[in-house]
Amino acid sequence: MESLLVWTIAGVAVIVLLGRSRAPSSLLLALALLASTAAGDALWSNARARRARSAEGLRQSLPERATQNGYVSSNSCRACHPSQYASWHRSYHRSMTQAARASLVLAPFSGETLTATDGTTYHLRRKDDELWADISGLGPRRITMMTGSHHMQAFWIPGDRGNEQIEFPFTYLLDDQRWVARRDVFLVGCDYTKSPSMWNRICIECHVTGGQPGLDRLTGIPESRVAELGIACEACHGPAAAHARENESPFRRLALHDRGAGDPTIINPARLPPKRSAEVCGQCHGIACPPDGWLQTGIPYRPGQTLAAEKPILELASLKRSACRDQIAADASFGPSRYWPDGMVRISGREYNGLIESPCFKRGPITCLSCHSMHDSDPTWQLSAGASGNGACLKCHPAIGQKLEAHTHHPAGSSGSECYNCHMPNTTYGLLRAMRSHQISVPRLADTLKAGRPNACNLCHLDRTLAWTAAALARWYGTPTPSLTEEQRTIAESVLELARGGAGVRAIIAFSMGWSPAEATSGNDWMAPYLIELLSDEYASIRYIAYRSLKRIKGFEDFRFDYVAPPAARWEAQKEARRRLALMTVKVADRRPELLFSPQGQFLRDALERLLLERREDDEMVLAE
Amino acid sequence: MKPDRAQVDLPDRGALDRRLQLRHLRVGFVALFLFVTMGIALETLHAFKLPWYLGVATESRRLLWTLAHAHGTALGLINLALAALCARLPRRLHPAASPSLIAATILIPSGFFLGGLYAHGGDPGLGAVLIPPGALLLLISLALIVRASLPARGGKDDRR
């Protein structure tokens, strides 16, 4: 039909051109018009057939589009909400899951060959707008989906059953512009193994909108459906079919606009009561127990409903009473891989668990939107305007703002006077870095002594002992001084945590050693020997973080280290780092015994090794970020 | 004496101008009617927020139809301008000028319209192939109109 219409129009134009005149110039123009239409038709048809084949291949592999639950997709939302659409489109929520296309991918796919530990090779390439991996022993496989676009990008290939999507064994790190094995982007020990994840079982819960895993109860074969790939408008505002239908009428829109009230046909989290509003984010940013049958029909929670009724949040203390207790009992690492021993969440992406344990939430009106905004923020941390400094806290605590230095005992404007640094320290881990805890808390030594979690003070004052911190807290706030061991009185807490802490703690300390407020407060010359030591840590992610922090130290800016290279190459690089260190002089101020330096500025490696041998917690750890 | 070729082949300029005026008046007003109607239709689609027109997936359609409306209306006005002014041109219009302009008036907006009607994702439909020849014809007709508007050779004005 399209072709017929085009040729009809071209024919009419030819008739007009020729008209009654048979002038050679008109004839020439008519011929040129016919020739260009014919050439265009041939090229167009060919390109369209190719595109259609490619789209059909992708459509068959991807989850089917589900519209029956009242979802209409962001496609419909932009018509009336172009600026909100644009701000969401800039966000990383939007690109959390995308159909894999060469025009969207951030990894090169330019002929690189990746080799897995089992020797399987993956030759990556593009073909038109398609992404392909030629897998040794398997042949070519089309990459059909990709996850993430902020820190890293992961990929999925179709499995053999239903529309299952299987984890591609390599991830592309965007900052480093390199491929690494999937396991090397998580905090997992070197002995950790697992079979490739199935997207339809795990990611579909939160990385799409309106996901229905559709797993067959007997065979486990998925026929998954989604309203939309990525976390789109309806994930937070609820299904919008009724809203879109009602508002087709311009008169209704005008009336709503004049009234200035919300529209009852849609959920606006900003208009919900604080606790209900936070639940909208909590549906994904919390550790939860999905209801029975979710692997078939998806999570029934919709924004505006009570989260506890549809997807109860799991706290460490209530794990044994939860509906998921049987699954949790079968996995001894469930608790330790998600919570600190005192119940505080230790992994990123589960901020809602932290928030609901905060006094500001329990006794106050705080909600996620008090600090964050989807539509009025920078995509990186999605902090709303005015929430990146103390403004967010001082809205409710203006009296503290008036006597800031008296409260913080640090100069106003310094990192020690920033509310976040003391009350939301970087004690959660995810995406190869430490992140802020969202459990708003008061710095206490008990965090370290009972829960084994680095305390906020010593995350900045990395060069100080616990005794020093205890004395400061006692002097300023009258906090009782706990009894401390000889080591805790004489050795800097960060050194002890690096030596004796578990992998999660070492990762946090290694990150803090490259964190600018800590560098400014503690200096960083003395950190090099510790970070060099961590280059041989058995956890790849710790090696990665340590290397990033080490490169910030003068003299190591150009130091090269591949955190996933074979052990011999890593040891060689570590030796090179030690050689560099030996040639450097440590500042007089850093020649302190609590940092294991001799008065002559020599690093007392023997002392560190003694600590390592005596105290290192060598438990195999996995953090379930 | 052999008659001058121009005197034999070329019709009377006045009659030619009248024919041109009528033709371009018709084409101009028909184009204006069609494409102003199209503009109103597009605004109505906006009012009722039809995803078929305003959805993200149909962004190309929205753009191409807006272009069809704008180009159709502008070309209608160019036709009317030629109708109003052709008799005042110092030189006779080249015979290809008028059909080229009319063909361009058909091809360009139709190309945008059909391109939008059958848009595939970010790409226009096959109709878009009509746009480049239409643009070329418009360019040719404008060049020929410019040529006819230059002072006649030897200062001889052939207007009647």
Q: Note whether residue A379 is domain-resident.
A: yes
Burial of A280 by CB count in 10 Å (0-12 exposed, 13-18 middle, 19+ buried)? buried
Residues of B in contact with A18 (CB under 8 A): 99
Burial of B58 by CB count in 10 Å (0-12 exposed, 13-18 middle, 19+ buried)? buried
Predicted confidence at residue B155, as pLDDT, reads 58
Question: Does residue A407 sit in the same domain as residue A486?
Answer: yes
Region A132-139: mean pLDDT is: 96
Give the end of a domain, one of A266, A289, A310: A266
Using CB atoms, pick whichever of A16, A72, A76 lies closest to residue B103: A16
Q: Given a cut of 50, is residue A64 above it in pLDDT?
A: yes
Region A193-204: mean pLDDT is: 92
- Cα separation, A106 vs A401, in Å, equals 43
Q: Note whether residue A622 is domain-resident.
A: no
For testing the chain B interface, which of A12, A14, A25 should be mutated: the one with the most B CBs within 10 Å?
A25
Question: Does residue A40 sit in the same domain as residue A75?
Answer: no
The DSSP call for residue A93 is T
Region A507-528: mean pLDDT is: 96
- Chain B nearest C-alpha distance from A49 (Å): 11
- Number of A/B CB contacts below 8 angstroms equals 115
Q: Given a cut of 80, is residue A598 above it in pLDDT?
A: yes
Q: Note whether residue B70 is domain-resident.
A: yes
Q: Note whether residue B1 is domain-resident.
A: no
Question: Does residue A491 sit in the same domain as residue A520?
Answer: yes
Expressed as residue numbers, the domain containing A78 is 62-266
Predicted confidence at residue B1, as pLDDT, reads 43
Count structural domains, chain B: 1
Predicted confidence at residue B9, as pLDDT, reads 54
Count structural domains, chain A: 4
Residues of A in contact with B110 (CB under 8 A): 9
- Whether A92 contacts A148, CB under 8 Å: yes
Question: Does residue A123 sit in the same domain as residue A184?
Answer: yes
Is the minimum CB–CB distance between A36 and chain B shorter than 8 Å? yes
- Chain B nearest C-alpha distance from A524 (Å): 50
* Interval A4-15: pLDDT, tens: 999 999 999 998
Question: Does residue A295 sit in the same domain as residue A319?
Answer: yes
The phi-psi region of residue A323 (left if phi > 0; otherwise alpha if psi is between -120 and 50; otherwise beta) is alpha
Q: Given a cut of 80, is residue B6 above it in pLDDT?
A: no
Mean pLDDT, rounded, of chain A: 93
Cross-strand pairs, A166: A157, A198
Question: Does residue A57 sit in the same domain as residue A68?
Answer: no
- Whether B93 contacts B34, CB under 8 Å: no
Question: Does residue A530 sit in the same domain as residue A551?
Answer: yes
Residues of B in contact with A75 (CB under 8 A): 51, 55-57
Predicted confidence at residue B11, as pLDDT, reads 64
- Chain B nearest C-alpha distance from A231 (Å): 16
Q: Note whether residue A624 is domain-resident.
A: no
Question: Does residue A549 sit in the same domain as residue A567?
Answer: yes
- Chain A nearest C-alpha distance from B100 (Å): 6
Residues of A in contact with B137 (CB under 8 A): 13, 17, 29, 33
Question: Does residue A419 sit in the same domain as residue A549?
Answer: yes
For testing the chain A interface, which of B44, B56, B75, B92 should be mutated: the one with the most A CBs within 10 Å?
B56
Predicted confidence at residue B5, as pLDDT, reads 44
Q: Given a cut of 80, is residue B122 above it in pLDDT?
A: no
Q: Given a cut of 70, is residue A509 above it in pLDDT?
A: yes
- Cα separation, A570 vs B56, in Å, equals 49
Question: Does residue A162 sit in the same domain as residue A179?
Answer: yes
The phi-psi region of residue A199 (left if phi > 0; otherwise alpha if psi is between -120 and 50; otherwise beta) is alpha
Tokens of A55: 């789209």
- Chain A nearest C-alpha distance from B26 (Å): 14
Residues of A in contact with B106 (CB under 8 A): 9, 12-13, 16
Q: Note whether residue B8 is domain-resident.
A: no
Contacts 24+ apart (CB under 8 A), A354-357: A354/A428, A354/A437, A354/A438, A354/A439, A354/A440, A355/A278, A355/A282, A355/A438, A355/A439, A355/A440, A356/A278, A356/A282, A356/A313, A357/A315, A357/A439
Instruction: Say what percent of chain A tops pLDDT 70.
Output: 98
**Confidence class of residue A20 from pLDDT cuts 50, 70 and 90?**
low
* Interval B18-52: pLDDT, tens: 889 999 999 999 999 999 999 999 999 989 888 78
| Exposure string over A218-242, b if 16+ CB within 10 A, otherwise e | eeeebbbbbbbbbbbbbbbbbbbbe
Q: Note whether residue A393 is domain-resident.
A: no
Q: Given a cut of 60, is residue B86 above it in pLDDT?
A: yes
Count of C-beta atoms within a 10 Å radius of residue A362 = 11
**3-state percent helix, strand, coil for chain B, nearest multiple of 5:** 80, 0, 20
Cβ contact (<8 Å) for A29 and B50? Answer: no
Highest mean pLDDT among A50-59, A127-136, A249-258: A127-136
Residues of A in contact with B138 (CB under 8 A): none
- Chain B nearest C-alpha distance from A36 (Å): 7
* Interval A532-569: pLDDT, tens: 999 999 999 999 999 999 999 999 999 999 999 999 99
Cβ contact (<8 Å) for B126 and A3? Answer: yes
Residues 6 or more apart in contact with residue A114 via CB below 8 angstroms = A121, A122, A124, A170, A179
Region A253-263: mean pLDDT is: 87
Cβ contact (<8 Å) for A33 and B100? Answer: no
- Taking a contact as any Cβ pair under 8 Å apart, which residues of chain A between 238 and 257 contact chain B? 244, 247-250
Region A228-235: mean pLDDT is: 97
Is the minimum CB–CB distance between A40 and chain B shorter than 8 Å? yes
The DSSP call for residue B150 is S
Q: Given a cut of 80, is residue B156 above it in pLDDT?
A: no
**Confidence class of residue A2 from pLDDT cuts 50, 70 and 90?**
confident
Q: Note whether residue B58 is domain-resident.
A: yes
Tokens of A418: 């920033």
Q: Note whether residue A338 is domain-resident.
A: yes
Is the minimum CB–CB distance between A233 and chain B shorter than 8 Å? no
Expressed as residue numbers, the domain containing B76 is 14-152
Question: Does residue A13 sit in the same domain as residue A144?
Answer: no
Give the end of a domain, one of A61, A78, A99: A61
Q: Note whether residue B5 is domain-resident.
A: no
Predicted confidence at residue A468, as pLDDT, reads 97
Residues of B in contact with A251 (CB under 8 A): none
H or E element that contains A51: helix A24-61
- Cα separation, A487 vs A481, in Å, equals 16
- Cα separation, A145 vs A147, in Å, equals 7
Q: Given a cut of 50, is residue B3 above it in pLDDT?
A: no
Q: Note whether residue B157 is domain-resident.
A: no
Region B53-57: mean pLDDT is: 83
Q: Note whether residue A54 is domain-resident.
A: yes
Q: Which of A374, A416, A401, A437 is nearest to A230 (CA)?
A: A374
Residues 6 or more apart in contact with residue A250 via CB below 8 angstroms = B47, B48
Cross-strand pairs, A139: A135
Q: Given a cut of 80, is residue A143 above it in pLDDT?
A: yes
Is the minimum CB–CB distance between A145 and chain B shorter than 8 Å? no
Q: Note whether residue A625 is domain-resident.
A: no
Is the minimum CB–CB distance between A26 and chain B shorter than 8 Å? yes
